[in-house]
Amino acid sequence: MIDGAEELLNHLGDLLDSSDLDEFSSQLATMVAAGRSADGDRTALADAETAIVQLVSTHESTRQWLQNYIDMHFPAALRIYSPPPPGEGEPAIIPSFRCPIPKCAFTWHRDQLGVSVPKCPIHHIDLQQL
């Protein structure tokens, strides 16, 4: 989105009336700069992209130009947005279970959700979560 908005800056003279050009160009340049300076801050980048879409949508010519840019540069499958799943970037917590008999060393780790916890194969009793 930021690349497209930056490219759009080069075409504003062909798309907007001179009365709208200076203010629109200044606002768009500020938003592009904000997106470029986000530097890994996904919230700041999303805010800049949202502001760009809102500004570009105020003129049919700029909205259509950016839509054409997106259509040409990004396959449809990449344009589907869904928010990241909760906990993205955090290590997965894999539950471990152990036989409750003090001298038994049997432990088991659940590696998939929905898998039932087995019984201790030595003592045939339920395992306890660590």
How many domains does one find in the chain?
2
61 within domain boundaries: yes
Examine the pLDDT at 70 and tell me if it is beyond 90.
no
**Which DSSP letter does residue 61 get?**
H
Q: Are residues 69 and 125 in the same domain?
A: no
Other C-beta atoms closer than 10 Å to the C-beta of 61 total: 15
pLDDT in tens, 29-45: 999 999 999 888 889 99
Q: Are residues 63 and 6 in the same domain?
A: yes
Q: Are residues 72 and 123 in the same domain?
A: no
Contact between 7 and 69 under an 8 Å Cβ cutoff? The reply is yes
Domain span including residue 113: 93-130
| Average pLDDT score, the chain | 86
- Beta strand segments in 2-129, E: 96-98, 107-109, 128-129
Q: Are residues 38 and 72 in the same domain?
A: yes
Q: Are residues 8 and 68 in the same domain?
A: yes
